[in-house]
Amino acid sequence: MFGLAIHGGAGSLPRAEMSDELEQRYRAGLARALAAGYAVLQDGGTSLDAVTRAVTLLEDEPLFNAGHGAVFTLDGRNELDSSIMEGGTLQAGAVCGVTRIKNPVLLAREVMEQSEYVMLSGAGAEEFAASRGFQFVPQSYFHTDARWQQLQRIRSGDVSLSALTISHIGTVGAVARDARGQLAAATSTGGMTGKTFGRIGDSPIIGAGTYADNRSCAISATGHGEAFIRAAVAHDIGARMRYGGRSLAQAVSEVVLTELPPLDGEGGVIAIDRDGEIVMEFNSEGMFRASHRAGSSPQIHIYRG
Ligand code: ASP
């Protein structure tokens, strides 16, 4: 039973700012990434290749807060974080604070497969990228007018839209189980709008924003990164399954609906277990999400119900 789930961020999506036309564009972006990742699995490919493919497309889609379309730091730059993990070997790779890499998820995977390290940051990560023949893009590649306007609203002290809310709408991720039973997860983000001091959230942190273990599940998270780090969200869900005998649905619900709210941890996760069960849960108003399991039809949702 193979399957794939993807997300494009979670938060309190201001419905007033979500027109029908914009909603259709979000749905189309999710549909394209889902179909591309699912095709990898259908052709007998690995879960690692499926999540890499899906996240790469989401990074390329300007609507989402990752790659092209990432949010801006307070001083008007883009600093990107990503991570990836493979559930059979527990191999993992991550990059944080990179500024010139078109697809950070590809660099995270390169760190996993071609270095002796798990996580590389900033200039060092880019030095590694250069040594591996990665192409660099100028900062202007990441620019979108919508994100730039959001930064101006934050800079002007507009409280109708919090820095977190607008960043949550867009972080991307994918989890998959392939036909051989291998699990994988990947996450990519521009972080939080208006961030300062080289702030890094949960997305590139193995065990917080991303985790995969064939003995339990694969997780990609989106939400208020500080809370997700403190709650070790992605690892905790798998641990509840392994040590506590919980089902995937129970473990996800305990962490997302019980553990996170007292920490002001708004957001959600997508998850797939070793049997190919998929759970997508959030404690916010909505989460851009989509899934496709072998033998059933693709699902795309934003709000509840
Ligand atoms: N978790 C990401 C971060 O804190 C943001 C998000 O998912 O919206 O950087």
Q: What is the pLDDT of residues 17-54, one digit of tens each?
A: 778 898 999 999 999 999 999 999 999 999 999 999 99
Instruction: Tell me, in angstroms, the distance from the centre of ligand 1 to residue 223's CA.
Output: 5
pTM of the model as a whole: 0.97
Give the model confidence (pLDDT) of 232-290 as tens digits. Answer: 999 999 999 999 999 999 999 999 999 999 999 999 999 999 999 999 999 998 999 99
Question: 78-82, 150-154, 211-215 — which is least confidently predicted?
Answer: 150-154
Whether 210 lines ligand 1, by a CB cut-off of 6 Å, is no
Q: How confident is the model at residue 15 (pLDDT cuts 50, 70, 90)?
A: low
pLDDT of residue 109: 98
Reported confidence tier of residue 167, pLDDT bands at 50, 70, 90: low
Q: Which of 218, 248, 241 is nearest to 87 (CA)?
A: 218
Average pLDDT over residues 201-227: 97
Tell me: pLDDT of 72 over 80. Answer: yes
Of 90-94, 152-156, 185-189, 291-295, the range with the lowest mean pLDDT is 152-156
Could you identify the atom of ligand 1 that is nearest to the CA of residue 164?
A: 8
Categorize the per-residue pLDDT at 170 as very low, low, confident or very high, splitting at 50, 70 and 90: confident
| Amino acid of residue 13 | L
Which residues make beta-bridge pairs with 217? Answer: 273
pLDDT cut 70: percent of the chain above it: 96
Residue 162 has pLDDT above 80, yes or no: no
- For ligand 1, whether the C-beta of 222 sits within 6 Å is yes
Structure tokens at 59: 């990074």
Q: Could you tell me the distance, in angstroms and rounded to a whole number, from the CA of residue 198 to the centre of ligand 1?
A: 14
Average pLDDT over residues 80-91: 98
Reference 210, options 177, 188, 227, 239; nearest CA is 188
Beta strands in the chain (DSSP E): 3-11, 80-86, 92-98, 119-121, 172-177, 183-189, 210-212, 217-223, 267-273, 278-282, 286-293, 299-303
Q: Do residues 142 and 70 make contact, with C-beta atoms less than 8 angstroms apart?
A: yes
At residue 213, what are phi and psi to the nearest 5 degrees? -150, 120
The predicted structure's pLDDT at residue 18: 79
Q: Which of 171, 189, 210, 222 is catalytic?
A: 171
Distance (Å) from CA 210 to ligand 1 centroid? 12
Pocket lining: 203 vs ligand 1, CB cutoff 6 Å: yes
- What is the rounded average pLDDT of the residues 207-228? 97
CA distance from start to end of the chain: 25
* 52 catalytically annotated: no
DSSP state, residue 218: E
In this predicted structure, what is the pLDDT of residue 12? Answer: 66
Q: pLDDT band at 305, cuts 50/70/90?
A: confident
